[in-house]
Structure 1
Amino acid sequence: MDFNLTDDRRMLADTLARYLGDKYTIEHRNAVAYELPCHDPAKWDEMAELGALYALASEDAGGFGGTGFDISVVFEALGRALCPEPVLAALLSSRLLTAAGAGQDALLKGAVRYAAALSELDAPYNIADVACAAEVRGDGHVLSGRKSAVYGGQVADVLLVAARLEGKVALFEVQARDAQVIGYAMIDGGGAAEVLLDDTAARLLIADASDAIEAAQNAGIVALCAEAVGAMQLAHDTTVDYMRQRKQFGVPIGKFQVLQHRAVDMLTEIEQARSITIKAAAELDGDQASRYASMAKNMIGRAARLVAEEAIQMHGGIAMTWEYPVSHYAKRLVMLDHQLGDTDYHLSRVMSGNMSA
């Protein structure tokens, strides 16, 4: 496997990293991330102009990327900057629209914001447990039910909703203005929404969407893993830099061997996480995509928690303060495990060998 980025991907990574470093500082991020709409429309437009969204879709769908490695490049940069913009929502929606053969030019331009309303209170991860119901009404369909933790739903113009139709899980397009959307800020930054549907008009996109939804979730998992790698690397770099500057007993604490060993353990976890993310990205369009996505998400969940806890402990009390960036990185790394399936869920999937459960 070639671990090196192509020239185009390296250019995208460098461009996005420079932009986020200059325009999306941690101070700006914290000002945006924790209060509705948890989104900076001006920065969203600028990121779209840089091509960040086009990198998420294949050429056939109107983009210029769409592979696991393209997704990883974008989300690792987002992870290093801890960027709360609803790019995950755009990725999930793009994959679903591609599966439906629907146009997505407005999504890729950033002009129309989409969100994928898939999970429910009693079906947080497993799409087979979806209870939101669809029924034929006249020449179209209506939906009734509740969708939970819809990432990016707080600013979405269009919702792609998973609902049960004639015993199968189908995919529908719903205009956000036609549903009751209750947006909120997540504890680790960024926004989500609860979506209430009550005989809400919808347009059928895919009658049997289970495979398309699972494929979109696999892409989302690769994205989250890459985001975690970026955030873990930044947390480690910040910790090592702190160890070089913080003095105890007249010497930098980085001179203490026990702390050096712990820093190396952190780096080892990050490199393992990077490797499994690369493998999951490489397999994203293959027959084993779900298996490797679950393996990656399980490992990332465990590694991210360890890195977050170690970064805080090796910093000491300063890492618990709002003003210090590590506190926000640690919070994101711990909570990221619960998006699109936590460690226990994905471990059970790998153990059972049933990638559709």
Structure 2
Amino acid sequence: MSASASQSELRLVVLGRTGAGRRSAVSTILGLQDSQQGTETEDLQECSKHRGKAAGRKVAVVSGPAWFGSGCEPVERRRHVSSMVALSSPGPHAFLLCVPVNQPADEEAQALDVLQELFGPSAVSSSTFILFTHTEELEEDEQLDDYLTTWRKDLGELVKRCGDRYHTLEARGGGEEEEEKGEEPVMKAVEGLLEKVEHALAESGTQHFSCPLYQEAEERVRERQEEMVRERRRMEPPEESPPPPAEENVTEEEMEAVREEAEKSIGDLNVDVESILPAPAIVPPPPSSFLWGLWERLTGWLRWLPTLVRREALLGALVGLFVGGPVGGTLGATVGSVATEVSRRKTTEKTK
């Protein structure tokens, strides 16, 4: 691939836990059908690279398994990281971390820690976007900004760590006005994402993200690419054929195909996977962790409730959680019911 072609292509690396919507994000950005990604499951087993056009731009999207999770073995993690880096070499223009709005943010916080340890602080602070998914779980009239501010401070912290860069590709509602104008909400969402990526690049003053690990990968990819071209030139022609010219012209398409093969052939890079994600110690969880787990389940359940009931139910749950015991449960239920009834009557009076 020529230097100009490489610069015009926008490279995106899609990350996320299993079930976070990585596969859907890749399909949405490139306008692919699910079958075109070559997998039938969300839990991708190998890193893959897809090319296409989006909003008038050449785009390459790299995605793969959730290698940053503690469930991934060190050997597999090294292989996945090496493959991801080689496929997105000489460096991505953005990392996109898929974050479901209906789940706690502990795994995503760990993913940002791993990215920072592996590629350096700027990988998170300057080159990572939070890509919110499963926004259909929000109330129909609830805006994502309000939801993050009011209910999900943990998700807000992820956004802050990434320089307040976030986006969603999921169109909620759309509206008759947009349909009449012929504006496709999903296409507009993709275009908005690419504009944000280009704006972030302009602010950073860099062509793409780079670090020692990516520099090592690009050097090895180029070396392998040159080796493959020389091997093709050394192939002996049949005796009856004339010898090949001293300098064989290689088209841009051929060079691109050779580079793709070179990227896929890169083995383990110099990645110290043991240090970036040590095995978690097996210790009994402290009482505070138990209470936090209850709180996460509680708030997760409350997000399924209508907005009108949510605050009153939360008040009752708080009373029950911190008073404790049968008395706390009874008192919490009573407080929640009374608060809900008061809100209902206020709403009824306003509508009269």
Shorter-chain TM-score tier: under 0.3
TM-score, normalised with respect to structure 2: 0.28
Structure with the bigger percentage of strand: 1
Task: Tell me which structure has the larger Cα radius of gyration.
Answer: 2
